[in-house]
Structure 1
Amino acid sequence: MTASDREAFAPLLGGCHCGAVRYRISASPRRHSLCCCVDCRRSAGAPLVGWACVSESDLSVTGQTAGYNSSGDIERAFCPRCGTGLFYRSASLFPGEVDVSTGTLDDPGALPPTEVIQVADAPPWWETIGSLPRHARFPGEG
Structure 2
Amino acid sequence: MYPEGAVKVTKGEPKVYRSSEHGRRHFCSACGTGLFYVNGDILPGMIDIQSATYDDPEAVPPTMQMQVAERLRWMEHAHELPAFERYPPQP
**TM-score range normalised by the length of the shorter chain:** 0.7 to 0.9
Q: Take 1:127 and 1:55, find their aligned partners in 2: how far apart are those partners? A: 29
Aligned to 1:58: 6
Aligned to 1:95: 44
Give the structure-1-normalised TM-score. 0.58
**Larger strand fraction of residues:** 1
Identity within the alignment, %: 42
**Which of 15, 30, 52 lines up with 1:81 in the alignment?**
30
Q: Secondary structure at the match of 1:120?
A: coil
Aligned-residue offset at 1:128: 2.3
**Which of 109, 113, 120 lines up with 2:62 in the alignment?**
113
Q: Which has the higher contact order (CA 8 A, sep 6+)?
A: 1
Aligned to 1:104: 53
Q: Secondary structure at the match of 1:94?
A: coil
Aligned-residue offset at 1:66: 0.8
Q: CA RMSD in A?
A: 1.6
Structure 1 unmatched ranges of 5 or more: 1-52
Aligned to 1:35: none
Q: Take 1:81 and 1:130, find their aligned partners in 2: how far apart are those partners? A: 32
Structure 2 unmatched ranges of 5 or more: none
One-letter amino acid matched to 1:133: P
Q: Secondary structure at the match of 1:88?
A: strand
Aligned to 1:69: 18
Moved over 4 A (4+): none
One-letter amino acid matched to 2:23: I
Q: Secondary structure at the match of 2:65?
A: strand
Q: Take 2:40 and 2:54, find their aligned partners in 1: how far apart are those partners? A: 24
